Amino acid sequence: MDVRLFKHASFTTTAVALTLGSFVVFGYLYFTTFYLQLVCGYTPLQTGLLFISLSAGLVAGAPLSQRATQRFSTRTTIAAGIALMGAAFAGVTGLGAHTSPAWFVMDAFALQLGFALVPASGTTLASPSVPTDRTEAGSALLNTLRQLGSALGVAVLGSPLWSRYAGMMTDRLTDSPADIRRTAAEPLASALGTGDPAATQAAAPAFLSAMHTTTLIAAAVCGIALLVTLFIRPSRRTGITLPQAAARERERAGHSA
């Protein structure tokens, strides 16, 4: 890993935006799968059809990203995408056990539309800061960070989700047998599989509350990425990019020779 690439604000901004963007999107895929199948009762096929809206958001956002970058600026386009993602996560709090699937479709579309504005624009923003002989290293580092963010999104957002869910189930089943409380505090499918009326009735509301809390955490992560995008800018004191600095180093080395 060439950590010198992070000296340039544009590369750092892109790295943060891509990592945190992947972080929240894959966390969204994780908990909404439980929501659609176990809370709403959709089959795996129906769930997959609803997730087509995510792909539609990417398809619509890719060409929009290019036009937005040309009309406004790269940094503005990235910021707009992250803001849209944050709004989509806030919209998840409106999902309930009997919410129309149209709400989920529109929210998922908005989330991926926002994310689609980030990768291409981010690459455009980062490219000038990467020396020509380090292009492959810069690209590989961004891809690695994006995949790392995807894995962490499931792990990190899954932790508060199930922690809050387990706590709420334990509180709601204080009068139930110990084995029921212990099983119901495990992931949602375990509570529904107990056959205990109190556990099955408490499971969906507890999961929805935990999911809404988790989405607010994801929205806060989007807020952090937005602040980084807006306020981390190239130093005006130096005013040179990494390729320019490398060229000056080569020039000085030539004079020394």
Query: pLDDT class for 71, splitting at 50, 70, 90?
Result: confident
Find the Cα–Cα–Cα–Cα dihedral 156, 162, 163, 164, rounded to 10°: 110
Can you spell out the DSSP letters for 141-184? HHHHHHHHHHHHHHHHHHHHHHHHHHHHHHHHTTTS-HHHHHHH
Q: Is the pLDDT of residue 82 over 60?
A: yes
What pLDDT digit, counting tens, does each position of 99-117 carry? 999 999 999 999 999 999 9
